[in-house]
Homo-oligomer: A and B are copies of this chain.
Amino acid sequence: MLFRLVCVVCALAVIGAAAARPDPGRPATPDVTHLIAQPEFKAATAALAADDERVTAENITLTEIPAPPFKESARAAAYAKMMRDSGLRDVNIDGIGNVIGIRPGADATLPVLVVSAHLDTVFPEGTNVKVRREGTKLLAPGIGDDTRGLAVLLAFVRALDRAHIRTPRDIVFVGDVGEEGQGDLRGIRYLFENNLRAKGALAYITVDSTGAENITTVGVGSKRYRLVFSGPGGHSYMAFGVVNPLVPLAKVVTDLYSVQVPAEPKTTYSASVIGGGTSVNSIPSEVFLEVDLRSADAGELARLDGKLQDIVSTAVAEENSARNTRNGKVSVAIKTIGERPAGHTDEKSPLVIAAVEASRAFGYTPKLIAVSTDANIPMSLGIPAIAIGSGATGGREHAPDEYVDVAKPNSVRGMSVGLATLIAAAGGIAR
């Protein structure tokens, strides 16, 4: 999970609306209060409780298999075996490295529910991923984001089986690659481009990081660029007066930071990383700038993106007319290093209502948040999608001292929220 924006106002609004009837134009999601009162569901939560130590054991096993960006295959292989051992069918690894397993429902012709957790971590190769235990606290890079999510998906499968719950719809479980950073959601992107059942899915839930209160309904979109400005370079004194690629780079930063963006939908920019140049006594021949643009609204993001493109081309043209080009002109190469589509899921959709009700039913205070997760992709395709937590608590995500606290009552309670949401989204219990 990349970041969180707590939208307390929205959350309160939705909690108020949660009692309202689902939109008649949408597929009905069973009432969660009714669902969790069923004996099968009680059996399922009992199974989760009985299974809690195994969840932690598998969380540790998977955490200790490094899964740096673009190098998830060892963990994927282990996860595929765990999926098979937990009873999923047709387990396979797809063309980009996602692990996929099916839990058949009552009617294979119905659109499916896709449920995922991501295999990758932000941590580079060579990071010490040995899990350290302090009471109920487990510390290791990636343990909460999102390795517990992977383990909890398996617990859901086993609990459904033990409680003999059959959902009307098939559930496609996925351990996906490339959620973090420059992975740029490539696993889920590939899934929704290539997997026919995912493309036709009714809904999507990603279980990402710990907790049971936050429900992501807004997928913040982003565009990330690496702008490489080049020029002829030369000696700082001898060649003084010739174009310098650092000047348009600076102009881009200056001009970008005078752009006014809306506070709502929240839209942002950041000039983040710079580098280049040879020595203090040389006009640089190449310098670069990395820029991050974001918005909760695709239109605003596109508008900001267009402004940036104008600023860049104007800055380059200005430098070529302001200084000498006898040894060559300044030019720019614009490389997209990240692109996440913005999207959102209606706060009154049955999927969101189910998640909110489930969280409240187990004593949590649900909050609707705006985050960039795997859910951005289905949201951008119009498929109702949310991100929820894997229960328990945790913190310091993306830091070496990342941790989860798996104290059993809270762990089981949190998983129960996810399981209720998942059963509801898959159409309830088939009779």
Residues from 225 to 281 in A contacting B, C-beta threshold 8 Å: 226, 235-238, 240-241, 244, 246-247, 249-254, 257, 266, 268-281
Majority-rule SS of A interface residues: mixed
CB distance from A222 to the nearest CB of B (A): 8
Q: Does A2 contact B (CB under 8 A)?
A: yes
Max chain B C-beta neighbours (<10 A), residue from A252, A282, A291, A292:
A292
Residues on B with C-beta less than 8 A from A270 are 236-237, 240, 244, 280-283
- Known interface pairs A224-B280, A235-B3; A271-B290 also in contact (CB < 8 Å): no
Chain A 116-128 interface mask (CB, 8 Å, partner B; 1/0):
0000000000000
Q: How far is the CA of A277 from the CA of B220 in the complex (A)?
A: 22
Once the chains bind, are B238 and A247 in contact (CB under 8 Å)? no
Once the chains bind, are B273 and A273 in contact (CB under 8 Å)? no
The answer, among B181, B276, B287, for a CB contact under 8 Å with A279, is B181
Residues on B with C-beta less than 8 A from A148 are none
Q: Does A5 contact B (CB under 8 A)?
A: yes
Residues on B with C-beta less than 8 A from A87 are none
Once the chains bind, are A279 and B268 in contact (CB under 8 Å)? no
Residues on B with C-beta less than 8 A from A226 are 280
Q: Does A294 contact B (CB under 8 A)?
A: yes
CB distance from A155 to the nearest CB of B (A): 31
Q: Does A42 contact B (CB under 8 A)?
A: no
Q: How far is the CA of A272 from the CA of B271 in the complex (A)?
A: 19
Residues on B with C-beta less than 8 A from A235 are 3
CB distance from A187 to the nearest CB of B (A): 19
Q: How far is the CA of A266 from the CA of B240 in the complex (A)?
A: 10
Residues from 174 to 194 in A contacting B, C-beta threshold 8 Å: 181
Q: How far is the CA of A237 from the CA of B283 in the complex (A)?
A: 33
Q: Does A284 contact B (CB under 8 A)?
A: yes
Once the chains bind, are A253 and B247 in contact (CB under 8 Å)? yes
Once the chains bind, are B275 and A281 in contact (CB under 8 Å)? no
Q: How far is the CA of A362 from the CA of B143 in the complex (A)?
A: 79
The answer, among B246, B268, B283, for a CB contact under 8 Å with A274, is B246
Q: Does A164 contact B (CB under 8 A)?
A: no
Q: How far is the CA of A250 from the CA of B244 in the complex (A)?
A: 13
Once the chains bind, are A283 and B272 in contact (CB under 8 Å)? yes
Residues on B with C-beta less than 8 A from A271 are 244, 246-247, 250
Q: Does A4 contact B (CB under 8 A)?
A: yes
Residues on B with C-beta less than 8 A from A2 are 281
Once the chains bind, are A276 and B278 in contact (CB under 8 Å)? no
Once the chains bind, are A277 and B279 in contact (CB under 8 Å)? no
The answer, among B220, B249, B279, for a CB contact under 8 Å with A273, is B279
Q: Does A93 contact B (CB under 8 A)?
A: no
- Known interface pairs A236-B268, A240-B270, A294-B237; A280-B338 also in contact (CB < 8 Å): yes
Q: Does A35 contact B (CB under 8 A)?
A: no
- Known interface pairs A2-B281, A337-B280; A274-B272 also in contact (CB < 8 Å): no
- Known interface pairs A244-B257, A246-B253, A268-B236; A292-B275 also in contact (CB < 8 Å): no
Residues on B with C-beta less than 8 A from A294 are 236-237
Q: How far is the CA of A280 from the CA of B122 in the complex (A)?
A: 13
The answer, among B244, B251, B274, B283, for a CB contact under 8 Å with A287, is B274
Residues from 274 to 314 in A contacting B, C-beta threshold 8 Å: 274-284, 287, 290-292, 294
Given A236-B269, A247-B257, A254-B254, 16 more A-B residue pairs with CB atoms under 8 Å apart are A2-B281, A181-B281, A222-B281, A236-B270, A237-B292, A240-B266, A247-B254, A250-B251, A250-B253, A270-B282, A272-B281, A274-B275, A274-B277, A275-B275, A277-B290, A280-B337
13 contacts between A and B (CB under 8 A): A3-B235, A236-B269, A236-B272, A241-B268, A246-B271, A249-B250, A249-B253, A272-B281, A272-B283, A273-B284, A275-B275, A280-B292, A280-B337
Which 6 A-B pairs rank lowest in CB-CB distance, beginning with the nearest?
A: A273-B277, A250-B253, A236-B270, A240-B268, A250-B250, A280-B290
